[in-house]
A and B are shown apart, each in its own frame.
Chain A
């Protein structure tokens, strides 16, 4: 029983980090119908920013988190401004390639500046709560707690603020939104900021949990988060979170049952299966056709 409990906690921890990253993919897709493949690189840069801040002036976690989020958010905005905005009217494939190019650019710049994996200093005293056979560390509570708070915050923001409303409107009909006098570009910038902030937070939490920071850390996890976003229905915020937790769960379950090399095989087989049954993902809806 405690074995089961422990593995569930492992799955939730994994899922909450995937969720934070998956949200970034989903937000951008919702507004621009574009897959921001550079998001995994933003996640990686979040970890590096946090490390840099922590190395130059040791900060407590509650200060480090907003600063990292702010830094990566600005980077997200910059990315959109420099790389994506000029080609917004170009064919979709150009946007896709640009995003891939940005990802490679950011990763290799980081590799050039810091070729060695760095270790992240401890931000929390390593307290573990041992309780009836299973163990919960202060870090796990922090990671899961912070992710859930951020996700609830995002959900409320999208549902209840004017910005959220504008964002939802934008995802349905960009032309109409502009005609009604809403500054579409500003909303798009804000969306990238929001996605970047969540990616940055994920980078920090990930670097705290697995305290080795390297330029390639965002690649695989970026793909997985993207898969989670697609699984839940890309463009759908709650779907991304659902997809991420399902992904975490399947990963842990497959490793309990099979050797580790089967994990990704199972994961992607399941993705294919779900997409065959529900082509728009679990919570996704077919796009509205405006006549």
Chain B
């Protein structure tokens, strides 16, 4: 009886002891990701790319801190694509897990509140995919004041939407545009407003701007309104699980306009969910193309494909770049101190990653980058044109 009781206790204490002895110092990096909820595919890509990066670094012994190799350790927190969970995960990663920096969240409605936590606790945060301007800016009205601790590895909607408007007019020859967007979600509505402004400025006519709310499945009312004004182009800044529904309902109602999307369209799920092939010939912009000719990108794509049996999407590439940026900052800082890593990060101006060249101009925390326009052809994304920002 006693022996039976003693055995597990002994085993447990042994485990405790062994964990004490084996605790080699590591550098902890927090991932605040959308593993479940509205956009689980986003979280999956982030985790895949981050794990790949950590595996690569650790297989060579770890990150080089002034001659000493220290391995990286990932701490993954699921924010369920909910703002309140993103905040809770950020708090836990920073206060409890003591991570050196946080990668993510990706969805702007999560990364904006999480960035406040990073800012107030002085922990570096790099969002791979949040394109909403407010993520890195400290107040909503002034353009130039950035949060000290918050960076991103993607372009913003401020850059993206004007390029899209330009593309719509010049390449698609569309002059009457309509927009349908999720007005309760940060990123789509900010993309819609930027597009509206730029499209008008460049000489196009905006014939309709309709809205819906997150979780809506029926868009027939708004689409019927849009149909009655005969647009040549329908801009749909929406997350990937809404897009196929919108496209399908639009075609069923007899809308023949060209569809245009933005970076959130870029997951393979959008094709899988588009059963009726309504998105054929639709165009959208993105951060990254797996067929990119950059040497660094080619190397990353081969490695990713070998590990996960699928090409990386833009989120994976941007996460990889965020990890690259972070490790660069850690190496430059030469220590695993939060403050010095953040200082080192803010001194990076030019950087070359797998998604191309980054320019953090004049203290900006949003890099200037080029974007790739894709066309959906026979159920796959075909790169169409590379558009440079007008700097």
Q: Do A and B come from one complex?
A: yes
Kindly state whether residue A7 has any CB partner on chain B within 8 Å: yes
Given A13-B220, A126-B276, A210-B217, answer yes or no on A116-B40 (Cβ-Cβ < 8 Å): yes
A216 to B80, alpha carbons, bound, how many Å? 12
Whether the Cβ atoms of B272 and A119 lie closer than 8 Å is: yes
Q: Which of B183, B221, B224, B245 contacts A212 (CB 8 A)?
A: B245
Which of the 9-residue segments B207-215, B312-320, B363-371, B373-381 touches chain A? Answer: B207-215
Kindly state whether residue B252 has any CB partner on chain A within 8 Å: yes
Whether the Cβ atoms of A255 and B252 lie closer than 8 Å is: no
Kindly state whether residue B139 has any CB partner on chain A within 8 Å: no
**B186-230 residues at the A interface, CB under 8 angstroms:** 210-213, 215-218, 220-222, 224-225, 227-228
B contact residues around A264 at 8 Å (CB): 213
Whether the Cβ atoms of A115 and B275 lie closer than 8 Å is: no
Q: Which of A115, A119, A217 contacts B36 (CB 8 A)?
A: A115
Q: Which of A117, A217, A252, A259 contacts B183 (CB 8 A)?
A: A259
Q: Which of B36, B216, B217 contacts A260 (CB 8 A)?
A: B216
Given A117-B241, A212-B217, answer yes or no on A256-B36 (Cβ-Cβ < 8 Å): no
Whether the Cβ atoms of A7 and B224 lie closer than 8 Å is: yes
B contact residues around A111 at 8 Å (CB): 36
Kindly state whether residue A42 has any CB partner on chain B within 8 Å: no
B contact residues around A7 at 8 Å (CB): 221, 224
B contact residues around A263 at 8 Å (CB): 213
Interface size on B, residues (CB 8 A): 32
Kindly state whether residue B386 has any CB partner on chain A within 8 Å: no
Whether the Cβ atoms of B41 and A116 lie closer than 8 Å is: yes
A contact residues around B269 at 8 Å (CB): 116-117
| Total A-B contacts with CB atoms under 8 angstroms apart | 82
A137 to B216, alpha carbons, bound, how many Å? 20
Whether the Cβ atoms of B273 and A135 lie closer than 8 Å is: no
A contact residues around B244 at 8 Å (CB): 119, 211-212
Given A3-B228, A210-B245, A263-B213, answer yes or no on A14-B276 (Cβ-Cβ < 8 Å): no
A contact residues around B40 at 8 Å (CB): 115-116
Kindly state whether residue A81 has any CB partner on chain B within 8 Å: no
A14 to B222, alpha carbons, bound, how many Å? 14
B contact residues around A261 at 8 Å (CB): 183-184, 211, 213
- Mask, B99-135, CB within 8 Å of A = 1, is 0000000000000000000000000000000000000
**A209-235 residues at the B interface, CB under 8 angstroms:** 209-212, 214, 216-217, 220
Whether the Cβ atoms of B273 and A210 lie closer than 8 Å is: no
A120 to B225, alpha carbons, bound, how many Å? 27
A155 to B253, alpha carbons, bound, how many Å? 33
Whether the Cβ atoms of B228 and A135 lie closer than 8 Å is: no
B contact residues around A10 at 8 Å (CB): 218, 220-221, 224
Size bracket of the A interface: 35 or more
Whether the Cβ atoms of B248 and A3 lie closer than 8 Å is: no
Whether the Cβ atoms of B224 and A14 lie closer than 8 Å is: no
Given A130-B254, A135-B253, A260-B211, answer yes or no on A117-B273 (Cβ-Cβ < 8 Å): yes
B contact residues around A126 at 8 Å (CB): 252, 276
B contact residues around A252 at 8 Å (CB): 221
A261 to B183, alpha carbons, bound, how many Å? 8
Whether the Cβ atoms of B184 and A256 lie closer than 8 Å is: no
- Mask, A197-217, CB within 8 Å of B = 1, is 000000000100111101011
- Chain B nearest CB from A97 CB (Å) reads 23
Q: Which of A6, A14, A128 contacts B218 (CB 8 A)?
A: A14
- Chain A nearest CB from B344 CB (Å) reads 37
Q: Which of A13, A220, A260 contacts B222 (CB 8 A)?
A: A260
Please name the residue on chain B nearest to A13 by beta carbon: B220
- Chain A nearest CB from B221 CB (Å) reads 4
Whether the Cβ atoms of B220 and A256 lie closer than 8 Å is: no
Given A10-B224, A260-B211, answer yes or no on A119-B275 (Cβ-Cβ < 8 Å): yes
Please name the residue on chain A nearest to B254 by beta carbon: A135
- Chain A nearest CB from B212 CB (Å) reads 5
Whether the Cβ atoms of B252 and A135 lie closer than 8 Å is: yes
Whether the Cβ atoms of B275 and A121 lie closer than 8 Å is: yes
Q: Find the residue from B224, B269, B273 having the highest chain A CB count within 10 A.
A: B224
**B10-56 residues at the A interface, CB under 8 angstroms:** 36, 40-41
A contact residues around B218 at 8 Å (CB): 10, 14, 209-210
Kindly state whether residue A87 has any CB partner on chain B within 8 Å: no
A contact residues around B241 at 8 Å (CB): 117, 212, 214
Whether the Cβ atoms of B220 and A128 lie closer than 8 Å is: no
Kindly state whether residue A122 has any CB partner on chain B within 8 Å: yes
Please name the residue on chain B nearest to A220 by beta carbon: B215
Please name the residue on chain B nearest to A115 by beta carbon: B36
A contact residues around B225 at 8 Å (CB): 256
7 nearest A-B pairs in the assembled complex, by CB-CB distance:
A210-B217, A10-B220, A255-B221, A260-B211, A119-B273, A260-B212, A135-B254
Q: Can you give 5 contacting A-B residue pairs, CB < 8 Å?
A: A117-B269, A128-B254, A139-B252, A212-B217, A260-B222
A residues with a Cβ closer than 8 A to B are 3, 6-7, 10, 13-14, 111, 115-117, 119-122, 126, 128, 130, 135, 137, 139, 206, 209-212, 214, 216-217, 220, 251-252, 255-256, 259-261, 263-264
Other A-B contacts than A13-B220, A135-B254, 15 sampled, CB-CB below 8 A, are A6-B253, A116-B269, A119-B273, A120-B275, A128-B252, A128-B254, A130-B254, A206-B217, A209-B217, A210-B245, A211-B273, A251-B221, A260-B210, A261-B213, A264-B213
B residues with a Cβ closer than 8 A to A are 36, 40-41, 183-184, 210-213, 215-218, 220-222, 224-225, 227-228, 241, 244-245, 248, 252-254, 269, 272-273, 275-276
